[in-house]
Structure 1
């Protein structure tokens, strides 16, 4: 079995070295980059399993890059940043990051978080197939695409896909905020709640839902959400 590949994008040489050594010792392969342009050039040749991305880059905006990664790549995206404000964490998660680690960090914690994300991916893939049909839509979790009944496609991010899969695996059942946090991971609190609100709002937009009266993803105020579609997995 191939060792998972982790791409590290950080302009600080010490950070790249610390992460690369810790991950190599833990059994991962690594590639390191100081600039976003080098990192993006590498992505055209090799798609890593995990991307560790710093937000303060010398040549590009880190948040914009995270958003692109979330939409275009199948990799887990983890932000590692010195920006510790709640709003920065919320924005990073809203744009599609799977996790947010604040500098300074313990390398062992980074390794543990990466393993947790990959384990979650592996369990998800093993649990059932990666294509589901519901109410005229097809969600493909391999290509991260939503297809309507005309064949028109709309991409969704890895993070949005986690929420969508959670709904599709439990149709017509109440899913509480606590259940979402326990299933999807991340620290409970305002930043997690706001990130979930944004991901659900984006899913509703992509599913062409009426924001005032959504048919598929219903909000049960004070309790959670219910997905009302008829789901068939392939």
Structure 2
């Protein structure tokens, strides 16, 4: 599998690249935002590690630009620990974020977790789909069809929607959703779920302000209403 590492600190890039190659990944690198966007057009890239503070184009802009043409998983690497920066990263389409300084084992574990979820279907299964009411999930292309409308999903959006479709009517707290889509004990915040749910609603609901499918149970969490 191929990973694009976008980071302007060359010594850090060297360390990340070495460790990921030891895990069997092919690694390509970019040292500024413009180069990252150019390389991200390569369809063979399986995941992007994206630093926030970059020359020429910042990580937020890079992420938003890439989301205009690709749903490749993006993990944002940032020295900024403020909530607003984490939320902005998710708003612009990042699947996950890791705050510097970090342990390379944590980075590797996050990568493995995302890629494992991206490839849940055996290679021999060429047509696996999940159908629930008006919504169909396509496991090969990691996208959803609502009626006659097809929408592209990021890895976390797909994971969340899959969970809801498999359990119509079940109410999930934010903690439940974090545990299910990110893994039990995952070091993230419940506001992360709100951002992903808002983005998911914007994609599948005709009127996100009055959702038909992904409903809110006030004071508790979210649930899927099967039409």
TM-score range, shorter chain: 0.7 to 0.9
Question: Which residue of 115, 121, 124 maps to 1:125?
Answer: 121
Question: TM-score, normalization: structure 1?
Answer: 0.81
CA distance in 2, matches of 1:112, 1:145: 25
Question: TM-score, normalization: structure 2?
Answer: 0.83
- Correspondence for 1:42: 39
- Summarize deviations over 1:25-78 as a string: whole Å, max 9, x none: 222211111123323322333431111001111111211222343453343211
- Summarize deviations over 1:96-132 as a string: whole Å, max 9, x none: 222211122222221122122222333x435x96534
1:166 aligns with 2:163: yes
Do the aligned residues in 2 keep the contact of 1:50 with 1:77 (CA within 8 Å)? yes
1:132–1:64 CA distance, 2 compared to 1 (3 A): farther
Do the aligned residues in 2 keep the contact of 1:70 with 1:158 (CA within 8 Å)? no
SS at match of 1:120: helix
CA distance in 2, matches of 1:165, 1:155: 14
- Summarize deviations over 1:119-154 as a string: whole Å, max 9, x none: 2333x435x9653444444443544544443x4433
Give the stretch that moved more between structures: 197-206 or 128-137.
128-137
**Any unmatched runs of 5+ in structure 2?**
none
Q: CA RMSD in A?
A: 2.7
Superposed, 1:195-214 pairs within 5 Å as 195-211=192-208, 213-214=210-211
**Any unmatched runs of 5+ in structure 1?**
none
Do the aligned residues in 2 keep the contact of 1:71 with 1:157 (CA within 8 Å)? no
Question: Which residue of 56, 61, 66 maps to 1:64?
Answer: 61
Q: Deviation at 1:18?
A: 0.9
CA distance in 2, matches of 1:145, 1:108: 30
The number of residue pairs the alignment matches comes to 223
Structure having greater relative contact order (Cα 8 Å, sep ≥ 6): 1
